[in-house]
């Protein structure tokens, strides 16, 4: 067995041991087609106030500029689909935010994987990323053979749908690349497009981020959500899962096995009134390790006003 094959086997085996559900590998190259699509998307203003999407364009489209000498991009998936669901008549929160902030969870796993590589393969240069750097995770997932990009813009898999996080590890190791995923299994289905209450899916795989409920409730930093969206919120207080919930492929979603993603009881049970009456001190204490801290207490209160109006 060649060293590249052996190293590839070691990395994929360790990734699964660490709890990742999938691991694929692609050669580190410039993403020329993705660069053109990203530029067009930005020119249309679909990023809204997410100015960070406009920065470091060259780094987003060429991993060798993030990690000099990079030869391989390792893409990893971690399932977050919860066994527990929110109680009826509670303000909706996206499933990814039920438990501990995934950044903490995945960052620890990436560090463990990189340390394992150094201990068992040798001195390598590598960096792990999870939503924290200019990396086109979905593009690398497709190039790594892990799935395809659905009409709702999420990476879909035939075996487990789309409720998973994507992380990348860029390294200067020469590894065996997987075959890219080339088949679109969405067919003529338009359930996600039809179900989006704000018409954020402007065309298959093209999302106007400035209209997305997740953007409005998390990324938008304005004091108020524009009134034109208030009657379209459908009780979503933090994030949105509508386009995933209606996707036929998510009937294959399996409950996650990551203890850190165990739902915070308040997320499952609190009524809208209880959220509204919660003090900032209580919010900061209960959700100190939760994704909800991203929008802060003031953001939650703003979102509640939009839901109620």
- Residues recognised as catalytic: 131
Secondary element (H or E) of residue 17: helix 3-17
Contact 235, 145 (CB under 8 A): no
Q: How many residues does the chain have?
A: 309
Instruction: Please tell me the distance from the alpha carbon of residue 192 to that of residue 249, in angstroms, as a whole number.
Output: 11
Contact 24, 146 (CB under 8 A): yes
Name the packing angle between helices 102-120 and 3-17 (round to 10°): 140
Instruction: Please tell me the distance from the alpha carbon of residue 193 to that of residue 199, in angstroms, as a whole number.
Output: 7
Contact 11, 120 (CB under 8 A): no
- Among 25, 247, 1, 254, which Cα is nearest to 117's? 25
Determine phi and psi for 62, rounding to 5 degrees: -145, 100
Token couple for 262:
């165990």
- Among 157, 151, 159, which Cα is nearest to 252's? 159
Contact 198, 186 (CB under 8 A): no
Contacts (Cβ under 8 Å, ≥6 apart) of 258? 19, 78, 79, 80, 99, 105
Tell me the sheet residues that pair with 149: 155
């Amino acid at each position: 067995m060649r060293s590249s094959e052996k190293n590839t086997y070691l990395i994929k085996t360790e990734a699964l041991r660490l709890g990742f559900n999938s691991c694929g590998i692609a050669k580190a190259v410039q993403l020329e087609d993705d660069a053109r699509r990203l530029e067009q998307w930005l020119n249309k203003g679909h990023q809204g106030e997410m100015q960070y999407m406009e920065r470091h364009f060259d780094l987003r489209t060429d991993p060798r500029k993030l990690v000099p000498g990079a030869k391989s991009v390792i893409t990893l998936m971690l399932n977050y689909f919860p066994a527990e669901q929110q109680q009826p008549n509670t303000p909706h929160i996206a499933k990814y935010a039920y438990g501990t902030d995934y950044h903490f969870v995945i960052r620890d796993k990436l560090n463990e994987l990189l340390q394992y590589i150094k201990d068992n393969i040798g001195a390598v240069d590598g960096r792990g990323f999870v939503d924290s750097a200019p990396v086109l995770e979905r593009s690398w997932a497709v190039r790594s053979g892990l799935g395809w990009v659905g009409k709702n813009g999420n990476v879909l898999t035939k075996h487990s749908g789309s409720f998973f996080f994507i992380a990348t590890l860029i390294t200067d190791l020469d590894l065996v690349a997987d075959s890219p995923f080339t088949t679109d299994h969405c067919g003529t289905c338009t359930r996600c497009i039809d179900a989006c209450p704000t018409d954020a899916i402007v065309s298959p795989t093209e999302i106007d981020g400035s209209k997305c409920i997740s953007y409005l409730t998390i990324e938008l930093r304005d004091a108020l959500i524009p009134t034109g969206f208030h009657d379209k919120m459908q009780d979503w207080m933090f994030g949105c899962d509508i386009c995933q919930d209606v996707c036929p492929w998510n009937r294959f979603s399996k409950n996650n096995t990551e203890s850190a993603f165990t739902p915070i009881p308040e997320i499952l049970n609190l009524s809208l009134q209880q959220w509204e009456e919660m003090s900032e001190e209580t919010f900061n204490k209960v959700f100190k390790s939760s994704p909800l801290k991203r929008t802060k207490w003031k953001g939650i209160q703003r979102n509640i006003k939009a839901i109620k109006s």
